[in-house]
Amino acid sequence: MTAWLGKACTAIPQLLLTIAAAILLARHVAIQTAVPVILTAILLRREKNRHQSAEQLLDDQVERSRRQMVQTLGKARIVSGFGMEDLEHAQFDLQLTEYRQKRTALRQQQRRSRLAAWLLLTAAVGIPALLLALQLSAGFSVLASLALPPLLLAMFSAVSQLASLADHASAGGELADEITRYLDRIPGVSQVAGASFLNPLSRTLTFDQISWETEDGRRILDGLDLRITQGERVALLSLDRLPACALASMIPRLIDPLAGRVLIDGRDIREGTLESLREEAIFVSGEDSVFDATVLENITCGRPDLSRQQAVDAAKLVHADHFIRSLPRGYETALGEHGLQLDAGQRFRLSLARAAARKPALLIVEEPDVPLDPDTKAMLDDAWQRLSDDRTILFLPSRLSTVKRCTRIVVIHQGQVAADGTHEQLVRNSDIYRHWEYQRFHPFRDDRDSA
């Protein structure tokens, strides 16, 4: 709309030049024919400035609401994995309502400004055109009469230019509709009728003939079989990170296989409730963001029964307590877009504390794929040891030290398990593993964390 008004203002000089030409050709044309155009130009300039200020304010408010909604959608995996759907759905509904109200206010403001501009432009074009037509057609001079058609055509050209201006509304204007369509989609993972409580992993985790493909039809997993014993620390690797990540994401049912089954102690996890499954199989990623809440609320979110002491104990377990207490208000420090920003290592440890507070039987950890300082590396190495006590951990590792500390390494290639063993065994016997290690931790590459 601001662009529309700007172009409208640039069209006014064309009308003034047209009237000036008419005056030069017929001096008896009253100078007052230019007065409506001049006044309109002044009023349009004022309307443009007023509209710019109002639209900028509303655009800022709309953009803030849009960022909040996108941030909420971006946390969908965390929300699902930690059983926070009801809480986040209520918050998202509020954000969506607020966004729509602000978009409606912005569109009403645009319509009012557009109407005012058209009324002013009608006066600017109509009054001079009428005066020129009346006076030039009176027959006072042959030259003036000959000039009338091209002058009116010039005015018509200016009016056509104004009429063809497009409304440059904000690109985010249709976002609310897109988000609504997204929310109305049938979910890819749902709880089956008659699902019952699923007991925590106590013996084996089994992947039975697992197949999966991307939306464009690319086969990522193809009849994969894998058996993991309770208490193991297993690194899941693949040259392309997607196959390993897809397999790990099937455990808490963030995605379901195209074919095959995932079993906990011999029971298909699809027979269990999502709540009982995700309470005991938690996915933590280095890409996890924080919620717009306090540190304490970020740890206990979705679990109102967790006490402050339990949250503190979980933070201590993963070496997050020290940096939390160094924050301005400790566990009451506000985080998120309008609060304190944490670095990658701090965010990751906070996510680990959120998971540790729930004491799951099975933990899936995707390490952050960014360089970490030596202190953070040492703290994470110790945290893995602490978290391993009587717990099964599956790593999607980004550090070689994590891989070496695992009791078992599984390499996925061409949709199948291509190698399985310890670091020492695979270095000797697996070309795929050696290639993965070289690819990830080549000594001349400085963009990977090799420690």
What CA–CA distances, in Å, run from 85 to 72, 77, 352, 451? Answer: 11, 10, 20, 37
Most confident option among 10-14, 178-182, 289-293, 395-399: 395-399
Q: Helix (H, G, I), strand (E, B), or coil: what is residue 36?
A: helix
How many other C-beta atoms can be found within 10 angstroms of the C-beta atom of residue 308? 11
What's the pTM?
0.66
**Residues with Cβ < 8 Å from 205, sequence gap 6 or more?**
227, 228, 230, 251, 262, 263, 264, 362, 392
**pLDDT of the residue at 142:** 46
Q: Please, what is the end-to-end C-alpha distance for the chain in angstroms?
A: 55
Checking if the pLDDT of 364 tops 80, the result is: yes
Percent of the chain at pLDDT above 70? 56
More confident residue, 333 or 35: 333
Choose the weakest-confidence range: 124-128, 299-303, 440-444. Answer: 124-128
**pLDDT of the residue at 440:** 86
Q: Which two tokens stand for residue 333?
A: 């420090």
Checking if the pLDDT of 46 tops 50, the result is: yes
Model confidence pLDDT, tens digit, residues 401-422: 999 999 999 999 999 999 999 9
State how far the Cα of 351 lies from the Cα of 248, in Å rounded to an integer: 17
Checking if the pLDDT of 179 tops 50, the result is: yes
More confident residue, 84 or 270: 270
**pLDDT of the residue at 5:** 47
**pLDDT of the residue at 300:** 92
Choose the weakest-confidence range: 76-80, 145-149, 215-219, 309-313. Answer: 145-149
Checking if the pLDDT of 33 tops 60, the result is: no
Checking if the pLDDT of 38 tops 90, the result is: no
pLDDT band for 58, please (50, 70, 90 cuts). Answer: low
Asked whether 299 and 291 are in contact (CB, 8 A), the reply is no
How many other C-beta atoms can be found within 10 angstroms of the C-beta atom of residue 253? 22
Model confidence pLDDT, tens digit, residues 257-266: 999 999 999 9
pLDDT band for 56, please (50, 70, 90 cuts). Answer: low
Mean local confidence (pLDDT), 333-361: 89
Checking if the pLDDT of 97 tops 80, the result is: no
**pLDDT of the residue at 340:** 76
Asked whether 211 and 258 are in contact (CB, 8 A), the reply is yes
**Residues with Cβ < 8 Å from 213, sequence gap 6 or more?**
219, 220, 221, 258
**pLDDT of the residue at 164:** 44
**Residues with Cβ < 8 Å from 256, sequence gap 6 or more?**
188, 189, 250, 270
- Number of Cα atoms under 13 Å in the Cβ half of residue 384: 26
Checking if the pLDDT of 442 tops 90, the result is: no
Mean local confidence (pLDDT), 233-240: 96
Helix residue spans in 164-199 (DSSP H): 175-183
How many other C-beta atoms can be found within 10 angstroms of the C-beta atom of residue 75? 19
**pLDDT of the residue at 416:** 97
**pLDDT of the residue at 156:** 47
Checking if the pLDDT of 14 tops 60, the result is: no
Mean local confidence (pLDDT), 113-131: 63
φ, ψ for residue 254 (rounded to 5)? -70, -30
**pLDDT of the residue at 287:** 83
Dmax over CA atoms of the chain, in Å, equals: 107
More confident residue, 445 or 120: 120
